[in-house]
Amino acid sequence: EAGVAQSPRYKIIEKRQSVAFWCNPISGHATLYWYQQILGQGPKLLIQFQNNGVVDDSQLPKDRFSAERLKGVDSTLKIQPAKLEDSAVYLCASSKGHQETQYFGPGTRLLVL
């Protein structure tokens, strides 16, 4: 079974630029999550989708971050404009559904200069 795919794996941008990350969850997984992991910290949930609807986006900085999950499969996370403090690893995870195990992708490491 293929795992969660993410791209790109690495991205370097300058502050005030925009960036987008892509995630393809495990086939058949209804729930998709985006996490931000800052160096030295644990992952922090940014947004959770159930199919193509948002379940929780309480910790998403909506003035600069946006995410969508069209057709309930792939998802993109966008930052516009980026700030220095957005430098982190962005992890995508998916699960079959309610209270099922979350499987993580390898992450996208973002560096904002």
Partner 1 sequence: DQQVKQNSPSLSVQEGRISILNCDYTNSMFDYFLWYKKYPAEGPTFLISISSIKDKNEDGRFTVFLNKSAKHLSLHIVPSQPGDSAVYFCAASKGGSEKLVFGKGTKLTVNP
- Which positions touch partner 1 (CB under 8 A)? 4, 31, 33, 40-45, 48, 55-56, 91, 93, 95, 98-99, 101-107
Structure-block tokens of residue 88 = 């982190």
* Least distance to partner 1, CB of residue 48, Å: 7
β-strand 10-13 against 5-7: which pairing, if any?
unpaired
- Is the Cβ of residue 44 or residue 83 nearer to partner 1 in the bound state? 44
* Least distance to partner 1, CB of residue 45, Å: 6
- Give the Å distances, CA to CA, from 95 to 15, 47, 70, 76: 33, 14, 17, 17
Helix (H, G, I), strand (E, B) or coil at 70: helix
For residue 74, the Cα-to-chain-centroid distance in whole angstroms is: 11
- Is the Cβ of residue 19 or residue 49 nearer to partner 1 in the bound state? 49
Helices first, then strands: H and E counts in the chain: 0, 11
- Is the Cβ of residue 23 or residue 112 nearer to partner 1 in the bound state? 23
- Is the Cβ of residue 95 or residue 112 nearer to partner 1 in the bound state? 95
* Least distance to partner 1, CB of residue 47, Å: 11
Q: With beta carbons less than 8 A apart as the criterion, state whether 20 and 110 touch.
A: no
* Least distance to partner 1, CB of residue 102, Å: 7
